[in-house]
A and B are shown apart, each in its own frame.
Chain A
Amino acid sequence: MKMKVVFLNLLLVVAMAVPASAHFQMIYTPEIAKTKGAETDLKLVFTHPYEAGHTMKMGMPEEFFMLHQKGEEGKTKKYDLKKLLKPITWTSLTNSGEAYEAKLPKKIVRSMGDYTLVLVPAPYYEGEEEIYIQQITKTYMNVGGLPGNWAAPAGLKTEWIPLVKPYAMWTGMTFKAQLLSDGKPVPNADVEVEYMNHEPDMKNNAFKKEAKSEAPHDAFVTMGVKTDAQGYVTFAIPKAGWWGFCALGSGPDKEFKGKELSQDAVIWIKAVDM
């Protein structure tokens, strides 16, 4: 009996010792700075990227679209990508979860300019905390180096507005972005930052087992920063690869189906070595 109690206590300690990594909605494609337009594969996964940890079951997104603009004076074209979504199963290092993929035809990723990918997922019910989480997520692509609308708001309930070209970051550069809720800056917001530490395997819909870095302490798995009085964050990028920024509960919607809703804003950027 005593042994059983000791064992249960040990199990509890081990369970609690698992680093608390953060939820991150991903929109992933390997190459975002494209020389020429090309067919583009995207994976939408709701997971814990640093540790390639538990992957959550995504429902059919509320919205998934792309905004394209060629040149700063060009007109913004909107493409609905929801009809291109196909369900997949994504395998993390600890489980498998329902996710989505989309193959963008070359005809819509042909022109030079900026492409903003926007995902408004269905709220996800986190049973343990009895809350819903909805991470409104953006990432960017560029073709041919001609800039467009990368610094323009997409008109989302909550979103990050980058002040640095998010597809043209060298490792070591400082990323700066402003957090908006209903178009207004959000001061003093809690922002979680994670590195995509396990490269996604596009063919097998899984994270690769090899980690790119080792966290010396749990606090390095999910880093914390806060927005300043005008809603800005700055963050120097220490390593090549993908970096995600998630502002917790920054959106205006606070309730869904009678439960608390955390409406978060996520942005993904990619840095490359010189």
Chain B
Amino acid sequence: MKNIIAKIVVVAGLIVLSATAALAHSPLCSCFDNGDGTVLCEGGFSDGSSASGVKIYVRGDSGAVILKGAMNENSEFEFNKPAGHYTVTFDGGEGHSIEIDGSDIVE
């Protein structure tokens, strides 16, 4: 019984800790048109931490994913600019996602 209580306390503690960490920073992402047919997106978090490995989705007009990848070690993701309307999603997990409309991505 003591063991179970100890486990519950540890798990509860971990939940509280992870919840605090999730609230402590906000996601940041910015994309620009390189002017040569490519788009560069860069990301990070408001505490200065890296966005390396954060998933990126590029969706076409229908909402279907046409490209997916992840931020590199420099917190960057570069892709060929799709024809027509598109959106970019920086998927930093629940409450940490950002969607950028292609029409806002300029040189």
Contact = CB atoms under 8 A, between A and B. Distances in A.
Interface of A: 36-37, 70-74, 110-113, 143-148
A145 B32 CA distance: 16
B36 interface: no
Contact of B44 (A37, A110, A146): A146
B80 interface: no
B28 A73 contact: no
Contacts of A144: 28, 30
Interface string B34-64: 0000000010111111110000000000000
Contact of A146 (B32, B48, B74): B48
B75 interface: yes
A72 B32 CA distance: 22
A147 B50 CA distance: 11
B44 A71 contact: yes
Contacts of B47: 72, 147
A177 to B, nearest CB: 19
Contact of B75 (A36, A70, A145, A147): A70
Nearest to A36: B30
28 contacts: A36-B30, A37-B32, A70-B42, A70-B44, A70-B74, A71-B44, A71-B50, A71-B51, A71-B75, A72-B47, A73-B48, A73-B49, A74-B74, A74-B75, A110-B32, A111-B42, A112-B30, A112-B42, A144-B30, A145-B28, A145-B46, A146-B28, A146-B44, A146-B46, A146-B48, A147-B46, A147-B47, A147-B48
Q: How large is the interface on B (under 10, 10 to 19, 20 to 34, 35 or more residues)?
A: 10 to 19
A148 B48 contact: yes
Contact of B49 (A72, A110, A113): A72
A36 B46 CA distance: 15
Contacts, number: 44
A112 B74 contact: no
A211 B1 CA distance: 73
B48 to A, nearest CB: 3
A147 B44 CA distance: 9
A262 to B, nearest CB: 36
Nearest to B46: A145
B85 to A, nearest CB: 20
Nearest to B52: A73
Contacts of B46: 145-147
Given A72-B47, A112-B30, 11 more contacts: A37-B32, A70-B42, A70-B74, A70-B75, A71-B49, A71-B51, A72-B48, A74-B50, A110-B32, A112-B44, A147-B46
A111 B45 CA distance: 14
B101 to A, nearest CB: 14
- Considering residues A37, A146, A147, which has the most beta carbons from chain B within 10 angstroms of its beta carbon? A146
Nearest to A150: B48
The 8 closest A-B pairs by CB, nearest first: A72-B48, A146-B44, A147-B48, A71-B44, A144-B30, A146-B28, A112-B30, A73-B50
B73 to A, nearest CB: 9
A104 B46 CA distance: 25
Nearest to A147: B48
B44 to A, nearest CB: 4
B88 to A, nearest CB: 15
A111 B75 CA distance: 11
B50 to A, nearest CB: 5
A148 B49 CA distance: 9
Most-contacted residue by chain A among B28, B30, B42, B50 (CB, 10 A): B30
